[in-house]
Structure 1
Amino acid sequence: MSQPSDMAAFVRIVETGGLAPAARDLGLTPSAMSKQLARLEARLGVRLLTRTTRRIALTPEGETYLARARDILSLIDAAEQDVTAGRGRPGGLLRVNTGTAFARHRLIPLLPAFFAQYPAITLDLGVTDRRVDFMTEQADVLLRTGALGDSSLVARKIASGRRIVCAAPAYLDRRGRPATPEELLSHDCLVLRGLARLTAWPFRSATGLQTLTVRGVATTDSAEALRDMALVGLGIIRVSAFLVTRDIAEGRLIPLFEDLHVSEEVAVWAVTAPGRQRLPRVQAFVDFLAQHAVRW
């Protein structure tokens, strides 16, 4: 086996969580996979993985090698696709990961047009509201909203939007409509768990910017669940406008403090690992999203 083959085998072991599933994916026996890993570790002179009967874990050297190996394999893939791109449109399996709300309300409605333009691309869409990264998730593109933390990744802004404060008529009938932003402090304001910055709601006041730290009867780790809780009248929410546009238009949610609420820009980012943005299928996907983006 070649060095790139050993490298690819190591990456697949990490991504699938074991020798046996990696071997199945690559059409090898577990014994052959184990030999590839042993040969790689012998050549490098370090242990890349620690193995027990139940799990594998990366050593510090393994973590370093994994990041570089993924970059190198991405460049090899990009080079091969570059020289074959003239034979047809971008193709192959595209792995995308995004949050529930963005997937349901913005990405999925665009997919028919995307596949009509790029019929040779197939999609593996991962949808989760937990934070993921390229070290633990096998993905070509992460679609994320808001601030980004990892500066080592390649990010392209594909859209922007705003946040809106709203509540269901049932909640406002039961608790009364707050007349001033300060009254929100005595209302049930529902927020996403673990994101402290989203509990600080900004409003204009006579003295300048006023930030209120709100709380309520429930929190969740899902923006879609946050919307659902508002719809059944549990409380007031502040979310990206794209999530509730139809609900507001159809009267299921009522916007609050439209003249006083300060809505900072909510950027939507397409994030890739270095080198992976050059893959034709990745370029096609990100360009398509940017072209069809509106203020969400």
Structure 2
Amino acid sequence: MKTSTDELLVFVTVIDSGSITAAAEKLGQTVSGVSRALTRLEQKLDTALVRRTTRRLHLTEEGDAFLGRARAILDALEEAEESVARGRERPSGRLRIDAASPFMLHCVAPHMTAFSALYPEIRLELTSNERIVDLLEQKVDIAIRIGALQDSTLHARALGSSRLRVLASPAYLAEHGEPTTLDTLRTHRLIGFTAPEHLNRWPLREGGRGGKRGKSHGKSHGKTHGKTHDDEAARLKIEPSITASSGETLRQLALSGWGIACLADFMTAADVREKRLVPILGNLTIEERQPVNAVYYQSASLAGRVQCFLDFIAARVRL
């Protein structure tokens, strides 16, 4: 049977206090309880640590050697507990965050100077992957995922949701004209994703019956709503003229006037505001929002720095 830290504490306190009675008072325990703990420790070690007389206690040679090790163990435990407490108050250590390139560029990177000013002892590592990564395999602490969540073993913090719009640059529209129906849209140069395939289904409905689809597509609060067969049928499956793996590449192609793309507001809101991109087919567009969640595994050692990042980014990213 292994020695417990409570037994080590009793042993050290008895020696430091000079008696079992004094140790019991200091520890807030009964004299008999302290005596039993000391005896139990000696039985586990199969050796006498102290010699008891009516007046005082004397360490044996083995007890003297064991005392130094017991103190070191208790000191290390106390230091570890203080370190965790300090970490909660002032988080430190490495924090690796992964997100798709567009979200990293538009919603994370611009705020990292402010984050580092608040938490200078956190060492940030930012990675970008266009596909879902395995957090444990890639040693990622927080991954920001766009779309419905699949892995139920992860903890998730909803950051909001972002609307999808069909857009083109003023230069492209001036040269090729603005499509007003799905039939005319199909004759244009369309920019799509290499994968996954569902990203090439645009939220456009036949017959001009666009607009809002109901309350469930409002701002995400952690719940995700699956698409029905009717939802999928209503969406337009496009045949891209060019494809790319990153939404940021699609954005750059659209900005350059290459063609028409369907992109999320979180990466194009400033472009629309500054009229670098123009939303089109508004009367046919279904109001669809992609949920955005930060996912992570629960870990006591990471809790402080994960929580401070989540609180920070949730306050900064307005979706």
Structure 2 counterparts to residues 214-293 of structure 1, below 5 A: 214-275=238-299, 279-293=303-317
Aligned position for 1:83: 85
Instruction: Confirm or deny that 1:162 pairs with 2:163.
Output: yes
Letter of the 1:242 counterpart:
F
Work out the CA distance in 2 between the residues paired with 1:229 and 1:207: 27
Confirm or deny: 8 A CA contact 2:192 2:241 kept in the other structure. no
Query: Do the aligned partners of residues 234 and 120 (structure 1) sit closer, same or farther apart at CA in structure 2, a change above 3 Å counting?
Result: same
Instruction: Tell me the distance in 2 between the aligned counterparts of 1:126 and 1:148.
Output: 20
Shift in Å, 1:229: 1.1
Q: Secondary structure at the match of 2:251?
A: helix
Structural RMSD (CA): 2.4
Matching residue's letter, 1:271: V
Per-residue CA deviation, residues 100-159 of structure 1 (Å, 9 max, x unaligned), is: 111111111111221222222120111232331124311110111112222211111112
Who is 1:28 aligned against? none
Q: For residue 246 of structure 1, what is the amino acid of its counterpart?
A: A
Q: Distance in 2 between matches of 1:275 and 1:136?
A: 16
Q: 2:156 aligns to what SS in structure 1? A: strand
- After TM superposition, give the deviation of residue 291 of structure 1 in Å: 2.2
Deviations for 1:178-228, whole angstroms, at most 9, x for unmatched residues? 012342222222111112222112235558563211122111101111111
Which 5+ residue runs of structure 1 have no aligned equivalent?
1-77
- Distance in 2 (CA, whole Å) between partners of 1:182 and 1:126 is 40
For the Cα contact (< 8 Å) 1:216–1:235, is it kept in 2? no
Give the deviation of 1:260 after TM superposition. Answer: 3.0
Q: In 2, are the aligned partners of 1:129 and 1:221 still within 8 Å (CA)?
A: yes
- The Cα of 1:243 is off from its aligned counterpart by 1.2
Partner of 2:56: none
Contact 1:182–1:212 (Cα < 8 Å) also in 2: no
Q: Structure 2 counterpart of 1:84, which letter?
A: R
What is the TM-score with the length of structure 2 in the denominator?
A: 0.62
Distance in 2 (alpha carbons) for counterparts of 1:275 and 1:223: 32
Secondary structure, aligned partner of 1:244: helix
Counterpart residue number, 2:192: 191
Contact persistence 1:100–1:127 (CA under 8 A): yes
CA offsets 1:162-185 (integer angstroms, 9 cap, x no match): 111101123223322101234222
CA shift in 2, pair 1:93/1:155, >3 Å: same
Aligned partners of 2:169 and 2:277 also within 8 Å: yes
Q: Alpha-carbon deviation of 1:286? A: 0.8
SS of the equivalent of 2:288 reads coil
SS of residue paired to 1:186: coil
Q: What's 1:114 paired with?
A: 115
Cα distance in 2, alignment partners of residues 240 and 277 from structure 1: 35
Q: How many residues align?
A: 217
Q: Is the 8 A contact 1:184 1:214 kept in 2?
A: no
Distance 2:300 2:286 in 1: 36
- Whether the 8 Å contact between 2:205 and 2:236 is mirrored in structure 1 is no
Please tell me whether the aligned partners of residues 187 and 216 of structure 1 are also in contact (alpha carbons under 8 angstroms).
Answer: no
TM-aligned CA distance change 1:195 to 1:89, over 3 Å: same
- State the secondary structure of the residue aligned to 2:287: coil
Q: Map 1:141-160 to 2 at 5 A.
A: 141-160=142-161
